Structure 1
């Protein structure tokens, strides 16, 4: 095994230790492999992750920029390298910050939008004429705000969801297909309980005799089922701003409008919505700017949304969700939230001209 191959294997090991979905780990390995190939072309073969230096990363970023890489893809490359190096004890994120390098920032606004009711009805009609299994996936994505993978794998959870709704519990656990294997709980829209129950009942009847699989691929595995579903989506009016992700946008807008109509404070609305969509409480700013851009006028013009926002723990005055029940975001015992202390400095080795220099990161 050559030196560069050993370096790529080391990066793959760091990526596995960092965790994440299989796709995320795969992309990290690919990005590091391209970086390693680039450094070899300029005369520096990396045998380990720790041999990378700041100037190599900066040169690689400018190499990608010169190749007309889009800001979003460039950000993904830098994030992959940062994760791998972080696991190896390096912190070189400062050397490739967009602000320092004056790079163009990615624009995440306006790519998707919520569907109107007529657009949703037209989509269902087209899907029914194409493939009945796709109809059930589309309805579940729209009424529960599911990702495509979550809707594809939710067959065995349908009956449990129906029982919970009939018992009056509108918070449904998403345990199969969740991003990065992080279980979450979505919420049935209070104004659309009947539509949601109808969609779940129809899906149960459809997949009960199919081993509770809504879509089956040619090789009887998840990968082929996902490929088949994607090919069906491409044949439907599900492109660009009205791609499959627009169904989650539709759910998000309906959830936010219902919560605001109930008089829930705007910050709490965004916190709850971030939780229901599976993004966690720290992504409220993104939820406002991306998922709720169509109803931005309903939120205050100036709203304090720090990127590290953490919702308050449960107090005597409980915040209510759109179902009218206490918000499940709050933790039960009323204890003050624990704050994560400052990390102790980690030492890592960086090679400059063959000499080892010890640095400390915080």
Structure 2
């Protein structure tokens, strides 16, 4: 989706991209400023840049240097103080209010709270409920989250060890509710995902679920419970943050953000001065690591190409054909 928008933008400025590797740094930078001019929020803009960077990296190009927020002096998303974890009483009151208002919303709220799901993930997880139930009954606490995952990145959440019964009950109740509704927990007026999401947001506003206790507070509640339980078991603080970052779908390298954002209420449980691996300067990857499609994503984050490498201009190549004996370009579509 993000690449399609970028390629349409490139066509508007006179550069029809027939292959991914025809995109140049200046095009990506112009596209970023085009999105900024359209008043795109910093968090959404970061998602766009990350998607394009992954696509270009897969094609063998490193665009991380040309589209970094710091270099472009872009506004950073302020996540601090926006949400907090709910107390058990606040969560009980929320469920009671939702039950009296709209029973379908109750299932979404319970799944978000006990599995740390994003709103979109909970909204689209109906067809995964049976798989989750079977995994839990088999003793597996790691559950795959594939539908609705942010930027299409599948992840695996984890059932809280002290709340397995509550989680299983929430999954069974949601499954019984949506089984005869084509596995849809919330349905919109136009029978599509967009209208279903709009209806769910409207219900959240009416409950009310706003500001520090908006829907994302349910993920904060999951995060605080996960971190507290892990620390109580004697897991090292760095490992706790690594695991929590992975379970929340941010990958294993966003530990500093997890500590400052999701765990700000229990910051006192972590060392005052904690040296996190994410604070280190990333090491340079080798050519093989950058090109390997089967290597770990962290090993492919940097490119083997030098920063000052100039690419051939896209203009003038748009109508080139592949001659006999030459390797054809890799098409995106």
| Aligned CA-pair RMSD | 3.8
Counterpart selection for 2:205 from 218, 234, 256? 234
Match of 1:135 in 2: 106
Counterpart selection for 2:272 from 301, 323, 330? 301
- Distance in 2 between residues matched to 1:169 and 1:57, nearest whole Å: 43
Structure number with greater Rg is 1
Q: Is the 8 A contact 1:153 1:176 kept in 2?
A: yes
Compared CA separation, residues 128 and 307, structure 1 to 2 (3 A):
same
Q: Is the 8 A contact 1:173 1:183 kept in 2?
A: yes
Deviations 1:142-166, CA, capped at 9 Å, x for gaps: 0111122222222233334333333
- Distance in 2 between residues matched to 1:225 and 1:180, nearest whole Å: 19
SS at match of 2:156: strand
Match of 2:257 in 1: 286
- Distance in 2 between residues matched to 1:64 and 1:158, nearest whole Å: 37
Compared CA separation, residues 169 and 132, structure 1 to 2 (3 A):
same
Structure 1 position 32, deviation (Å): 6.8
Calculate the TM-score normalised by the size of structure 1. Answer: 0.66
- Structure 1's unaligned 5+ residue stretches are 1-24, 310-336, 355-362
Question: Are 2:83 and 1:112 aligned?
Answer: yes
Structure 1 position 86, deviation (Å): 6.1
Counterpart selection for 2:160 from 181, 189, 198? 189
Deviations 1:68-102, CA, capped at 9 Å, x for gaps: 87654665565567567767876565456454565
Match of 1:345 in 2: 305
Deviations 1:248-304, CA, capped at 9 Å, x for gaps: 111001100111111110111111112222222122222212211221111112212
- Distance in 2 between residues matched to 1:186 and 1:204, nearest whole Å: 18
Deviations 1:323-347, CA, capped at 9 Å, x for gaps: xxxxxxxxxxxxxx99948744376
Q: Say which is worse superposed, 162-171 or 280-289, in terms of deviation.
A: 162-171
SS at match of 2:275: coil
Question: Are 2:146 and 1:175 aligned?
Answer: yes
Q: Is the 8 A contact 1:90 1:348 kept in 2?
A: no
Match of 1:161 in 2: 132
- Distance in 1 between residues matched to 2:70 and 2:298, nearest whole Å: 29
Counterpart selection for 1:216 from 162, 176, 187? 187
Structure 1 position 136, deviation (Å): 0.8
Question: Are 2:92 and 1:121 aligned?
Answer: yes
Question: Are 2:233 and 1:262 aligned?
Answer: yes
Compared CA separation, residues 87 and 112, structure 1 to 2 (3 A):
same
Compared CA separation, residues 33 and 167, structure 1 to 2 (3 A):
closer
Greater RCO, CA 8 A, separation 6+? 2
SS at match of 1:173: strand
Q: Is the 8 A contact 1:50 1:88 kept in 2?
A: no
- Distance in 1 between residues matched to 2:23 and 2:110, nearest whole Å: 50
Question: Are 2:138 and 1:149 aligned?
Answer: no
